[in-house]
Structure 1
Amino acid sequence: MTMHSATLAINEAIQKRRAAGEEVLHLGFGEAGLPVPDFIAEALRSAVGRNGYGAVVGSEEAREAAAGWFCRRGLATEAGQIIFAPGSKALLFAAIAALPGDLILARPSWVSYAAQAALLGKPVVEVPIPARSGGIPDPALLESAILEARARGGNPGILLLTVPDNPTGTVASEGDVRELCRIAEKYGLAVISDEIYAQTVHSGASAPSASAHLESRTIVTTGLSKSLALGGWRIGFARVPSNEWGDAVLQDMIGIASEVWSSLAAPMQAVAAHVLSEPDAVREHIQRSTRLHATVANAVCDEFLAVGAQCRRPEAGFYIYPDFEPVRATLERKGVRTSEELAAVLLDRYAVGVLPGAAFGDDASALRARVATSLLYGTSEQERWASLRAEDPLQLPWIAGSLEHLRAALQDLVS
Structure 2
Amino acid sequence: MLLVYTHNITPRIKYTFKQLCLRILDIPVDFTSSIEAFIAHDSLKMSYTRQPLGNEIFIKCHELLFEQGLSDVEIHVHEWEGTKYFFPTNEKSSLPYDIFAASFYLLSRFEEYLPHVKDEFGRFTATESLAYKNGFLQQPVIDIWAYKFKSVLEQQFPDFQFPKKRYGIQPIIDVPMAYYFKQKGLLRTLGGTLNDLIRLKFKRFYERYLVLFGFKRDPYDTFKWIINRQKKSEFKFIFFFLIGDYSTYDKNINVNKKKFVSLIKSVADYSRVGLKVSFFALENIDILKKEKKKMEAIINYELEASRNSFSKVNLPECYRNLIELEIKEDYTMGYLNHIGFRAGTCTPFLFYDLDYEIQTPLLIQSFHCIDFALLKKHSFLDKKEELQRLIDQVKNVNGTFTPLFHNYTFSDYERWKGFRELFSIVLDSAYDN
Instruction: Give TM-score, length-normalised by structure 1.
Output: 0.29
Of the two, which has the highest radius of gyration?
A: 2
Instruction: Give TM-score, length-normalised by structure 2.
Output: 0.28
Kindly indicate whether structure 1 or structure 2 has the higher relative contact order, using CA contacts under 8 Å at least 6 residues apart. Answer: 1
